[in-house]
Amino acid sequence: RLRPLCSPALAEQIGLRTLSDLSRATLIHSRNAVTWRDYLHRLGMDALRPANEFWLDRSSMAIDAAVAGRGVILEGEILTEDEVRDGRLIAPLDDSSTSLETTSYYLVRPKGFRSGVQDAAFVKWLRSTLAGNLLKRS
């Protein structure tokens, strides 16, 4: 489950209570399966423009920056479990409508696998089925 997280002090400082309040925040980007742009799109907030943005290439760096009060991260529960438990990060918008469930799918083939017509048809069907399911949730 992905959700916006920040330090308690930052949430208080900028009055972060609703999605639209993110326009007063610095959004911290890291390499996640769901970007801030994807997240805002899925929640119907495409027009939202944050006060500032910055990019880090690792989630651990983004988490550290958020703990230090540098901005708001979009991160999963697993990687932020300790920081949330210790109160260093909070979910200021903590309700089900501002969290995203994420699922990943992988198609694994043996090394040297030769794709044929049946395999290509299966991959095409799988992609269209998964894309249709994602659109239904959006």
34-53 residue pLDDT tens: 899 999 999 999 999 999 99
- Whether the Cβ atoms of residue 91 and residue 3 lie closer than 8 Å to each other: yes
Q: What is the mean pLDDT of the chain?
A: 88
pTM above 0.85, yes or no: no
Give me the pLDDT at residue 75, please.
93
- The full DSSP string for 2-69 is EEEEB-HHHHHHHT--SGGGGGGSEEEE-S-SS-HHHHHHHTT-TT---SEEEE-S-HHHHHHHHHTT
Q: What is the pLDDT of residues 56-76, one digit of tens each?
A: 989 999 999 999 999 999 998
For the segment 11-23, the average pLDDT, to the nearest whole number, is 95
